[in-house]
């Protein structure tokens, strides 16, 4: 990321490296707000269409986040996930969350849709918690700061391309 710094009356360009783990944590912070919102409004939601539209918002926002983790982050860590027996599990959890959100759209009654969306949000929270407690610290432990910063740059390029 380029920042401009005013020094002695002149702007200097500064390269600021953002670690991929910081990027993902920042995205998680937004998701925690979204999950709080969904859980707060869900009990008083009165139509199936409203519940489905909440599921759509979660799906649309989660898709690029999970893709970043799968494409940029999981591959360099694959070997370490294998060592702690978690490799399949993390890929699997993304799929389980997608499947639960897809199931909301298939629900035919309000209560079923609410229950399925509630369990999708609970699955997200538990998955995010695991990433924050285990995966991100492990990445910062085993990958070099430079690698984390290069992955952060790769994330930024992907976001610029998708604008």
Chain contacts with Fe ion (rule: CB under 5 A): 69, 131
Q: Using the CB atoms, write b or e for 62-85: b if 16+ within 10 Å.
A: beebbebbeebbbebbeebbeeee
Strand partners for 7: 10
In angstroms, what is the minimal distance from the CB of 63 to Fe ion? 11
Q: What is the full DSSP assignment across 140-153?
A: HHHS-HHHHHHHHH
E-strand ranges in the chain read 2-7, 10-15
How far apart are CB 73 and Fe ion at their closest, in Å? 9
**Whether the Cβ atoms of residue 158 and residue 70 lie closer than 8 Å to each other:** no
Q: Smallest distance from the beta carbon of 5 to Fe ion, in angstroms?
A: 32
Of 54 and 93, the one with the shorter C-beta distance to Fe ion is 93
The Cα–Cα gap between 91 and 13 comes to: 39
Between 97 and 113, whose beta carbon lies closer to Fe ion?
Answer: 97
For residues 51 and 58, which CB has a smaller minimum distance to Fe ion in the complex?
58
Closest separation in Å from C-beta 108 to Fe ion:
30
Q: Would you say 81 or 131 has its CB closer to Fe ion?
A: 131
């Amino acid at each position: 990321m380029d920042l401009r710094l005013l020094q002695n009356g002149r702007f200097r360009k500064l390269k600021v490296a953002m670690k991929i783990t910081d990027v993902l944590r920042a995205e998680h912070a937004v998701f925690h707000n979204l999950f709080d919102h969904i859980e707060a409004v869900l009990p008083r939601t009165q139509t199936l269409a409203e519940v489905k539209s909440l599921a759509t918002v979660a799906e649309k926002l989660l898709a690029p986040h999970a893709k970043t983790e799968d494409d940029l982050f999981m591959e360099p860590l694959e070997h370490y996930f294998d060592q702690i027996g978690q490799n399949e599990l993390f890929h699997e959890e993304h799929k389980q969350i997608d499947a639960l959100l897809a199931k909301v759209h298939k629900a035919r009654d309000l209560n079923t849709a609410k229950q399925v969306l509630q369990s999708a949000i609970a699955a997200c929270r538990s998955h995010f918690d695991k990433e924050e407690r285990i995966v991100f610290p492990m990445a910062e432990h085993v990958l070099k700061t430079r690698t984390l910063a290069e992955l952060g740059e790769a994330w930024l390029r992907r976001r610029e391309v998708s604008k």
